[in-house]
Amino acid sequence: SLTDRSDFANREEADLFVSIHANALENDDSYAGIFTFYHPDKQSSKTPAEIIQGAVSVASGGIDRGVRSADYAVLRETKMPAVLVETGFMTCPNELALLLDTGYQNLLAQGIAQGILTYWDK
């Protein structure tokens, strides 16, 4: 559950929480792109969100939809900086094909990892 994820990160005293998802949008199969979210009350999460968003967008070549704040449970309930990366839209056939491709998945993972490393180097 979402609570279990946050509880685990808090119990393990993680330094950064990164939740990775694939998005969907009802009634629009053309919308595509990558978003990264942080909680509006946790400004400590904004910088890692910006860095990870930039890195994953560059590495994957995906559409950069930017950084936004949202009241998602995994962002709200974690005690450490936390971000949620939406890697693309499963409801967009072209993007779904990319999301199912292991090569593209590796690019996304490399971008997220590079973003984390860049954040820690600051």
Predicted local distance difference test score (pLDDT) of residue 1 = 84
Which one of 13, 77, 86, 95 is the catalytic residue? 86
Residue 23 near residue 78 (C-beta atoms within 8 A): no
Burial of 93 from C-beta contacts in 10 A (0-12 / 13-18 / 19+): exposed
| Mean pLDDT score, 49-53 | 98
- Per residue in 67-115, pLDDT (tens digit) is 999 999 999 999 999 999 999 999 999 999 999 999 999 999 999 999 9
pLDDT of 4 above 80: yes
pLDDT of 122 above 80: no
* Mean model confidence pLDDT for the chain: 96
Active-site annotation holds for 95: no
- The 10 Å CB-count burial string (b at 16+, else e) for 44-54 is ebbebbbbbbb
